[in-house]
Amino acid sequence: TTTTTTTTTTTKTKSKAYLIGNTKHLWPVFLEWLQNATTVVADPLDTYECTVIEQQVVRSMATTTATATGSSDSRSDNNSSNSNSNDNSCWYRLFYSSDLEASRMVSMARVASCAGFSYLDPDTHLSIHPEYGTWHSYRAVLLLPSCCCGDDNDSDNDNDNDSGIYANAGVVPERVSNPLSPSEATASREAFDDALRITTTMGSTSDDSDNTNNNNNSDGGG
């Protein structure tokens, strides 16, 4: 699992966001999990990522919450958020790349780009990591409050002289520059255009076939 972080500050609370992703090494682990699954799931990879990420977060939060508040009582919201009975306790929110609910959709590629983790190519819309290239993917964004990130500052205190992990909260991370050579950029753009053309052609052919079938069904019914 690959993670990168970015810090967000508001007038009410301070929080830190973790971008969670994977490289190609996910696949053997995922396939083993899938082979051992006792039931057939409709979206196995999405189910796996949500299950594993949630379990790890809950496991980590249990220790942090017990230390911070002495309580493990929690309530969940659509399996994506948690907080215990103490209003000042740790909580978390998870936003998955597979979640299609409008209010929960997050552009993982833009998060990675803004965090200085990978380059978002404007032509192919692919995220290119300096080391992993395009052989990686982003699965979720984890949002945590300051009390869960080792920061002892009062979350309601907007003191500009804060130290620790929030000392550079207003600093914009350096963006990753385009790692592609001019020839590689041209080749990737042409490959993307070809793929888009093929997809569009296949879609048009499928629509024509559907229209023909519908016309035939109409004639037969008449």
| pLDDT exceeds cutoff 90 at 30 | yes
Same domain flag for 130 and 191: no
Residue 175, domain member (yes or no): no
Residue 105, domain member (yes or no): yes
Same domain flag for 194 and 155: no
- If one counts the domains in the chain, the total is 2
Same domain flag for 135 and 112: yes
Residue 171, domain member (yes or no): no
Read off the pLDDT of residues 111-128 as tens digits, 9 standing for 90 and up. 999 999 999 999 999 999
Residue 72, domain member (yes or no): yes
- With pLDDT > 90 as the criterion, what percentage of the chain qualifies? 44
Identify the pLDDT of residue 142: 93
What average pLDDT does this structure show over 26-40? 93
What average pLDDT does this structure show over 149-159? 50
Angle at 197 between CA 205 and CA 185, to 5 degrees: 165
Same domain flag for 133 and 190: no
Read off the pLDDT of residues 35-86 as tens digits, 9 standing for 90 and up. 998 888 889 999 999 999 999 998 887 765 544 433 333 333 444 555 443 4
Identify the pLDDT of residue 50: 93
| pLDDT exceeds cutoff 80 at 216 | no
Same domain flag for 90 and 28: yes
Residue 62, domain member (yes or no): yes
Confidence of residue 9 (pLDDT cuts 50, 70, 90): very low
CB 120 within 8 A of CB 127: yes
Identify the pLDDT of residue 217: 45
Instruction: Reduce the DSSP state of residue 206 to 3 states and report it.
Output: helix
Residue from 143, 175, 123, 126 nearest 9 by CA: 143
Residue 109, domain member (yes or no): yes
Identify the pLDDT of residue 94: 94
Same domain flag for 20 and 111: yes
Identify the pLDDT of residue 90: 76
Amino acid identity of residue 157, one-letter, is: N
Confidence of residue 159 (pLDDT cuts 50, 70, 90): very low
Residue 161, domain member (yes or no): yes
Same domain flag for 115 and 220: no
Same domain flag for 91 and 196: no
Exposure string of 155-189, with b = 16+ CB inside 10 Å and e = fewer, is beeeeeebeebbeeeeeeeeebeeebeeeeeeebe
Same domain flag for 25 and 120: yes
Read off the pLDDT of residues 95-112 as tens digits, 9 standing for 90 and up. 999 998 998 999 999 999
Amino acid identity of residue 88, one-letter, is: N
Same domain flag for 118 and 162: yes
Identify the pLDDT of residue 212: 46
For the ranges 129-138, 144-153, 168-177, 186-195, the lowest mean pLDDT is seen at 144-153
| pLDDT exceeds cutoff 90 at 187 | yes
Residue 172, domain member (yes or no): no
Identify the pLDDT of residue 169: 52
Same domain flag for 61 and 159: yes
CB 116 within 8 A of CB 174: yes
Same domain flag for 155 and 92: yes
124: containing domain: 2-166
